[in-house]
């Protein structure tokens, strides 16, 4: 793999924090670069794990006589949730700051453990974004293979890396931690979920195709969400006198990982898949910008019962008694030429008196930018530059 330093946009908070993100996105690397003088504990070290699981109080002895405000990193914190009681004590008694890193918040949320009573903020690290890659960003490559660091920095072996990634995930996150009772049904579901990247979810149909109970589908999706491999995109429901879609979409955190889960790594991608991958890429960039810049805006899609759809609706201000909600609308198309019929859904929503559309933006794979009566049409790279400059929301 090439030795290339990619600067990440995430900034270290000035207080203790949880850092979550999918496996393989560079959390440990970032922590070592961002906190080079921190005392580092890796719970993947079996001897360390065993000792701290039996004697959590040894954490203080191992750290030694560190001064006030020193940083301590604990990697893979989800493997030992009850260690957080000791972390809490040391934050109070020693005034040490902790960076608590993990690929899943599932055990922390569901184990009834001490989540530090709001004394630690939460941050997320995702796969590379286009703006972090800079001149290394290749849209065509990223549409096919995604943004995982190992993939981006060793492009010749992308298929093998992604294939291993999914297998490692199944082994480490699912089988070893006992998240499902039986692995084969989950594997059938995983393949189907990979193919449904960016699609509306009909869980009954998924259950039938995967030959599992409907309740299992809910559990399996919650596992993907809790291990940060995917995110639900909820429908926007402004009630503008039309029947609106109520089912969410599900986007994988990375289109390359979705392709691997679907078993399509060694087959050429068709145009429909690439179109979905383009939507996935834009959603990934929106999430990265939203999280690293602390915008904290809600992101949706909009679809009526008749099939009229807007790919992304970003709520820049929520509805209040004295004012309408304000939104930015984005429509994404894998096309070299922009067809103005693609504007209709955005313009229709903009005409409603129950919502204020601040911006309408079409994103496509052509080369020219246009401005049509309040609507900007931008090539993909132009849009990404404007997004990360803060010109979109």
Residue 112 has pLDDT above 60, yes or no: no
pTM of the model: 0.93
For the record, the structure tokens of 108 come out as 């922390």
135 versus 181: the higher-pLDDT residue is 135
pLDDT digits (tens, 9 = 90+) for 4-21: 679 999 999 999 999 999
Question: Mean pLDDT throughout 278-296?
Answer: 96
Burial of 138 (0-12, 13-18, 19+ CB in 10 A): middle
What percent of the chain is predicted at pLDDT more than 70? 95
Question: Mean pLDDT throughout 347-367?
Answer: 95
Domain with CATH 3.40.1350 in the chain: 285-389
Residue 345 has pLDDT above 70, yes or no: yes
CB-based contacts of 364, cutoff 8 Å, min separation 6? 332, 333, 334, 335, 336, 337, 338, 377, 378, 379, 380
Q: Does an H or E element contain 101, and which?
A: strand 97-102
- End-to-end CA distance of the chain: give it in Å, rounded: 36
Model confidence at 1, pLDDT cuts 50, 70, 90, reads: very low
Domain with CATH 1.10.10 in the chain: 130-237+245-274
Q: Which CATH number fits domain 17-124: 3.40.50.300, 3.10.20.30, 3.30.950.10, 3.30.460.10?
A: 3.40.50.300
Residue 327 has pLDDT above 70, yes or no: yes
Question: Mean pLDDT throughout 92-99?
Answer: 97
Answer yes or no: CATH 1.20.120 is held by domain 130-237+245-274: no
pLDDT at 350: 94
pLDDT at 111: 55
Residue 3 has pLDDT above 80, yes or no: no
pLDDT digits (tens, 9 = 90+) for 160-193: 999 999 998 887 778 776 778 889 999 999 999 9
Model confidence at 240, pLDDT cuts 50, 70, 90, reads: low
For the record, the structure tokens of 286 come out as 């929106």
Domain with CATH 3.40.50.300 in the chain: 17-124
How many other CB atoms are there within 10 angstroms of residue 171's CB atom? 12
Answer yes or no: CATH 3.40.1350 is held by domain 285-389: yes
CB-facing half-sphere around the CA of 96: CA atoms within 13 A: 24
């Amino acid at each position: 793999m090439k030795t290339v330093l990619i600067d990440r946009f995430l900034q270290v908070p000035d207080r203790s924090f949880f850092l979550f993100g999918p496996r393989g996105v560079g959390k440990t690397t970032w922590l070592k670069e961002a906190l080079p003088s921190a005392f580092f504990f890796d719970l993947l070290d079996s001897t360390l794990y065993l000792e701290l699981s039996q004697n959590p109080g040894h954490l203080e002895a191992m750290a030694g006589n560190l001064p006030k405000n020193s940083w301590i990193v604990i990697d893979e914190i989800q493997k030992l949730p009850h260690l957080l009681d000791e972390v809490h004590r040391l934050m109070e008694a020693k005034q040490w700051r902790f960076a608590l890193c993990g690929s899943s918040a599932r055990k922390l949320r569901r184990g009834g453990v001490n989540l530090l009573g709001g004394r630690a903020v939460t941050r997320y690290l995702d796969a590379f974004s286009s703006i972090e890659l800079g001149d290394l960003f290749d849209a065509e490559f990223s549409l096919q293979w995604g943004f995982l660091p190992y993939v981006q920095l060793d492009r010749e072996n992308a298929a093998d890396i992604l294939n291993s990634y999914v297998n490692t995930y199944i082994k480490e996150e699912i089988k070893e931690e006992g998240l499902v009772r039986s692995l084969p049904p989950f594997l059938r579901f995983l393949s189907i979920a990979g193919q449904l990247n960016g699609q509306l979810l009909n869980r009954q149909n998924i259950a039938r195709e995967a030959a599992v109970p409907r309740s299992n589908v809910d559990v399996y999706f919650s596992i993907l969400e809790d291990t940060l491999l995917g995110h639900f995109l909820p429908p926007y429901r402004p009630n503008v006198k039309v029947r609106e879609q109520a089912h969410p979409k599900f986007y994988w955190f990375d289109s390359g990982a979705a392709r691997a889960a679907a078993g399509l790594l060694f087959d050429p991608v068709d145009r429909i898949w690439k179109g979905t991958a383009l939507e996935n890429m834009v959603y990934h960039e929106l999430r990265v910008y939203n999280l690293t810049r602390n915008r904290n805006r809600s992101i949706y899609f909009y679809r009526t019962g008749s099939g009229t759809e807007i790919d992304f609706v970003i709520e820049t201000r929520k509805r209040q008694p004295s004012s309408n909600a304000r939104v930015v609308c984005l429509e994404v198309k894998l096309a070299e030429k922009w067809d103005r019929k693609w504007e209709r859904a955005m313009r229709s929503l903009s005409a409603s008196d129950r919502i204020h559309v601040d911006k309408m933006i079409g994103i496509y794979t052509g080369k020219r930018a246009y401005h049509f009566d309040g609507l900007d049409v931008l090539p993909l790279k132009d849009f990404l530059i404007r997004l990360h400059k803060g010109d979109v929301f």
